[in-house]
Chains A and B, each alone.
Chain A
């Protein structure tokens, strides 16, 4: 995993998440939004929504990667300070979903930016998205198991 080192350890209790819609149908987006509200309460894992790529540690990418939006995604990724991680959320960001063969889409997030965690589903449930974030944090050096108590 890129950037896994001292810096990566620093974010494992407080990853700030930025969400980027790269040509999604909004299904994943409302679930990401729902996942970040108190009903599912990701703040117990230190997860907070960052409005700005320069504050973000984790980028959640949704959608089938429209060509215009893919350029934007690359730019946002470059603007995000290291250590940075990417979660591909939903079937479209993973494989293109129903839009795979369409002319304006690239249809895979990992063709544009390196992806660390894939969350499948159309759309994934908020619990699945939080589970994906948790998986990432676990990879960064153990999260709840060692520190929650």
Chain B
């Protein structure tokens, strides 16, 4: 089973859960297609994969129209994790991006609110580590 939105085809992995893996350059395009389907951004979930040297970003949308969770997976480089921000397309993404930056260190290019200490205490910020990375040592 799959769900096709514009040029993008989502694969059903379990009931009401659709997943697509895209490159960084396509991210904004997919998000624009998803937002047209009455979707709100549930969460941005980042998973650290130190063995592959990557961080996996999961943009989890819930589509009110399709009654399904649409998950967009993007892999970014762990050493220099930069992705374009989607906060101008989905205003609700702003704070999720700030949280992900603070805890995982992914830079969302174009989000002006990014700062450390949004949640993390100052002594951890001073060490310059991102607590949710596997090698943060906190």
Q: Do chains A and B touch in the complex (CB under 8 A)?
A: yes
Q: In the complex, which residues 95-138 of chain B have their Cβ closer than 8 Å to any Cβ of chain A? A: 119-124, 131, 138
Main secondary structure of the interface of B (DSSP, over half): loop
Query: Closest residue of chain A to B123, judged by CB?
Result: A67
Report the Cα distance A104→B124, complex, angstroms.
8
In the bound complex, residues from chain A placing their C-beta under 8 Å from that of B120 are 104
Partner of B131, one of A66, A68, A103: A103
Report whether B138 and A67 are in contact in the complex, using a CB–CB cutoff of 8 Å: no
| 14 sample A-B contacts, Cβ–Cβ < 8 Å, listed by A number | A66-B121, A67-B121, A67-B122, A67-B123, A68-B121, A68-B122, A103-B121, A103-B124, A103-B131, A103-B138, A104-B119, A104-B120, A104-B121, A104-B124
| Count of chain A to chain B residue pairs whose CB atoms are closer than 8 Å in the complex | 14
Query: Closest residue of chain A to B120, judged by CB?
Result: A104
Q: Report the count of interface residues on A (CB-CB < 8 A).
A: 5
Which residues of B are at the interface with A, using a C-beta cutoff of 8 A? 119-124, 131, 138
In the bound complex, residues from chain A placing their C-beta under 8 Å from that of B138 are 103
Main secondary structure of the interface of A (DSSP, over half): mixed
Known: A67-B121, A103-B131. 8 other contacts (CB 8 A): A66-B121, A67-B122, A67-B123, A68-B121, A103-B121, A103-B124, A104-B121, A104-B124
Query: Closest residue of chain A to B119, judged by CB?
Result: A104
Query: Closest residue of chain B to A66, judged by CB?
Result: B121
Report the Cα distance A67→B124, complex, angstroms.
11
Closest Cβ of chain A to B129, distance in Å, is 10
Report the Cα distance A137→B53, complex, angstroms.
60
In the bound complex, residues from chain B placing their C-beta under 8 Å from that of A67 are 121-123
